[in-house]
Amino acid sequence: MDRSLYHETRATGAALVATAVCAVAGGAVHGFEPLPAGEAGRQFPVWLLGLVVLSVLVELVVEVRRFRKAVPLDADVEPPPDEPLRERLFLPGLFAFMAVPTLVAALVWGAWLALFPLASAVHWGTQALLITVWERRNGRLLWRKHTMGNVGLATSPLSPRPPTRTATGAPPA
């Protein structure tokens, strides 16, 4: 079980590092050709930005519904200790999974293909931002819970649970 926010942040980091590595390698081999001049060259970034905004809005609606369906952690389940994010800023396995095919495509067909992981970085970065806002508004942490091959969401309060006490107020034996 791990925090959803940390998972999305690390996935964003892996996608950004994969993009940087592949762009440097692809640019060194092929160089970056300029966008086409004229009307098509000016409209491409606008269309791309429009698609990003549309996908973010759709994701907002779908993901907030998913967060609301997250079940609270059972009373006997203690969330893992909060590990600092700076110790591991990206997921090495995901980095390799994204970098190898992107690097091959960038070296074979052209340097612009090296920017392909940016789409995933935008998605995961938006997801991390959405999780942050949801956690602050609801006062609960979102956890990724692995059960029977599926990844479900669970919630826990922001502050740790108080230690269990007996009827006399003493800690349990």
For residue 103, give the nearest of 48, 29, 8 by alpha carbon. Answer: 29
What is the structure's pLDDT at 13?
94
The answer to the question of residue 51 being in a domain is yes
Range of the domain at 104: 2-157
**Terminal CA-CA length for the chain:** 28
pTM: 0.78
What is the structure's pLDDT at 78?
75
What is the structure's pLDDT at 149?
61
The answer to the question of residue 90 being in a domain is yes
Place of tokens 């991390």: 128
The answer to the question of residue 165 being in a domain is no
Total domains in the chain come to: 1
Give per-10-residue mean pLDDT for the chain (173 aa).
88 94 90 71 76 82 84 76 75 94 91 87 90 89 75 74 67 66
The dihedral over CA atoms of 149, 122, 127, 95, expressed in degrees to the nearest 10, equals 40
What is the structure's pLDDT at 162?
60
Place of tokens 């826990």: 156
Residues sharing a CB contact under 8 Å with residue 134, sequence separation 6 or more, in sequence order = 64, 67, 142
The answer to the question of residue 166 being in a domain is no
